[in-house]
């Protein structure tokens, strides 16, 4: 009975310790909460605004005055951007009994495996084999994960860069490297890769506390802005036509 009480007390201490850990980015004592994201790797910038809070302890903001630091995302593979932008999306697949592999021109791979009962499972993410083998080197050039990440102070002093940084696992992508550099969790959490599940794992399994999730969809904002501009143009054309009609009526005898 006494042993059970000791075990229960130990588990309570572990749970309490985990519950007291807050997910807060820290670089050598410099605490970073909100980041303003820039860079010429447009796909990475779009991805980061929408998902960076899921994969790290950082919160994106569109207001640089409210940011603690600047995250600069640049292409990791050299090449002409106009070449990749003009290349249409294509998908190449190969199959064998019970499995299939499809790779798209953005360098993403979907693997499907089925058992004899017809039950299938699928996984989706960066095609490491294609990237390493150079088969779709030109295709992955503009993928969000093919990125060098740089963290700057607001007065543009370099704090950290992903290039040359070794993370906890060999397969980690730049968001995992950024998280490893800025936050050490109370227990082992799998790298997020493209699944964006770090927040879920750390919260449920390690008791890490997170700030409210901030997800900024730049593509949605662009569409909303475009729609507002269209509505504004329609209103302006209507007003112009009404003004012209009024002037025309005034000019008539």
Residue among 147, 136, 132 at smallest CA distance from 47? 147
Torsion from C-alpha of 87, 91, 92, 95, nearest 10 degrees? 170
Give the number of other CB atoms < 10 A from CB of residue 157.
9
Asked if 63 and 88 sit in the same domain, the reply is no
Last residue of a domain, one of 98, 123, 141: 141
Give the relative orientation of helices 174-182 and 42-55 as an angle to the nearest 10 degrees: 40
Mean pLDDT of 104-123: 72
* 34 and 12 within one domain: yes
Q: Give the total number of structural domains in the chain.
A: 2
Share of the chain above pLDDT 70, in %: 66
**Domain identity same for 18 and 131:** no
- Full domain range(s) for residue 102: 83-141
Q: 215 and 135 share a domain?
A: no
Residues 175 and 118 in one domain: no
With respect to residue 215, please indicate whether it lies within any of the assigned structural domains.
yes
Stretch 218-229: mean pLDDT, rounded?
Answer: 65
- Distance, CA of 17 to CA of 21 (rounded, Å): 7
Please check whether residues 90 and 34 belong to one and the same domain: no
Task: Check residue 100 and give its pLDDT.
Answer: 77
Say whether both 14 and 65 belong to one domain: yes
Examine the domain organization and report whether 6 and 127 are in the same domain. no
Asked if residue 192 is part of any domain, the answer here is: yes
Kindly report, residue by residue over 18-47, the tens digit of the pLDDT.
456 899 999 999 999 999 999 888 888 989
Reported as a single tens digit per residue, the pLDDT across 3-22 is 555 554 444 444 444 456 89
Among 119, 141, 163, the domain-final residue is 141
Q: How far is 60 from 213, CA to CA, in rounded Å?
A: 10
In a domain, 227, yes or no: no
Give domain status of residue 200, yes or no.
Answer: yes
Please report whether residue 158 resides in a domain. Answer: yes
Q: Does residue 230 form part of some domain?
A: no
Q: How far apart (Å, rounded) are the C-alpha atoms in residues 100 and 96?
A: 6
Displacement of CA 227 from its chain's centroid (Å): 25
Tell me which of 121, 141, 161 is where a domain ends: 141
Q: Are strands 99-104 and 30-32 parallel, antiparallel or unpaired?
A: unpaired
């Amino acid at each position: 009975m006494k042993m059970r009480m000791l075990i229960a007390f130990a588990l309570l201490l572990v749970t309490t310790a985990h519950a007291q850990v807050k997910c807060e980015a820290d670089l050598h004592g410099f605490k970073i909460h909100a980041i303003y994201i820039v860079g010429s790797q447009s796909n990475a910038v779009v991805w980061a605004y929408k998902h960076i809070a899921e994969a790290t302890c950082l919160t994106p903001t569109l207001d640089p005055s409210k940011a603690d630091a600047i995250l600069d995302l640049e292409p990791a593979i050299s090449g002409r951007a106009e070449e990749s932008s003009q290349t249409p999306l294509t998908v190449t697949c190969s199959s064998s009994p019970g499995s299939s592999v499809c790779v798209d021109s953005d360098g993403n791979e979907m693997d499907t495996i089925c058992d004899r009962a017809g039950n299938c499972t699928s996984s989706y993410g960066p095609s490491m084999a294609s990237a390493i083998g150079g088969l779709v080197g030109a295709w992955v050039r503009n993928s969000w994960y093919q990125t060098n990440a740089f963290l700057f102070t607001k007065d543009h002093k370099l704090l950290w860069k992903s290039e040359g940084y070794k993370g906890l696992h060999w397969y980690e992508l730049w968001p995992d490297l950024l998280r490893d550099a800025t936050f050490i969790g109370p227990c082992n959490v799998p790298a997020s890769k493209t699944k964006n599940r770090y927040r879920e794992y750390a919260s449920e399994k390690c008791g890490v506390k997170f700030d409210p999730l901030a997800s900024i969809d730049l593509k949605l904002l662009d569409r909303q802005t475009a729609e507002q501009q269209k509505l504004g143009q329609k209103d302006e054309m209507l007003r112009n036509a009404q003004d012209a009609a009024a002037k025309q009526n005034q000019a008539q005898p």
